[in-house]
Amino acid sequence: MKTIGLIGGMSWESTVTYYQILNRVVKDKLGGLHSAKCLLYSVDFQEIEECQANGEWEKSGNILANAAKSLEKGGADFIIICTNTMHKVVPQIEKEIEIPILHIAKAAAVELRRQDIRTVGLLGTKYTMQQDFYKEKLKEKHVDVIVPDLQDMEIINSVIYKELCQGIISEKSKKEFLRIIDGLMKKGAQGIILGCTEIGLLVNQEDTEISVFDTTYIHARQAAMLAMEERVLI
């Protein structure tokens, strides 16, 4: 079994979910007392969030690149970054290491195509929704992307950072997210990407009729399958 290197802590709540999924997938596949072989480098999210807010992406990329190098030295065979937004700096990190990074948006795109979803609504931080680093990976797999309007983007971003990353689950915020999802459905979305690893803490498939794609689950599952040397089509 390959060793998975996790860059986590963004936030730590969603990193816990990654760890749970990795081990459950391995146990379900191999049985017995099998569990995932993994190394975790958990960063201080406060430092990363300040970099995001100040537009200091190169600085945040250096922090994650150092984490990746530590994981590589520790024996990781490949790396997963346990957050959507910080995949913006993947090209910077890749220059510093020899082992591959399993990209979360590519993992999501594979699952979307498998289910024949051609148009998807994207929820995430404002950086993920507004910038191209994430959406272009979906478009490379011929998946069209619809995002909320600017006002709703601000609502989503605020809930992520001020509530979900703080461990706060609000019924009011859940209703707002479901309203936004309904709006994306009306614009033609065939599915919804939960493109922030915290959003799955608030809404899930049981809450809506449209297909929901939780990137935390998709990413972690594909990482576990890759670690067990199952084929992952990325």
Delineate the domains of the chain, giving CATH numbers in brackets. 4-103+217-227 (3.40.50.1860), 105-214 (3.40.50.1860)
CA distance 29 to 224: 10
> Among 206, 132, 214, 202, which Cα is nearest to 169's?
202
For 194-225, the pLDDT digits (tens) are 998 889 889 999 999 999 999 999 999 999 99
Residue 14 confidence (pLDDT)? 87
Would you please indicate which residues are annotated as catalytic (active-site) residues?
83, 196
Identify the band that residue 143 occupies on the pLDDT scale cut at 50, 70 and 90: very high
Instruction: Tell me the β-bridge partners of 213.
Output: 193
Average pLDDT, the chain: 94
Contact indicator for 107, 218 with CB cutoff of 8 Å: yes
Alpha helix stretches (DSSP H) within 2-56:
12-30, 45-53
Mean pLDDT of all residues in 44-66: 95
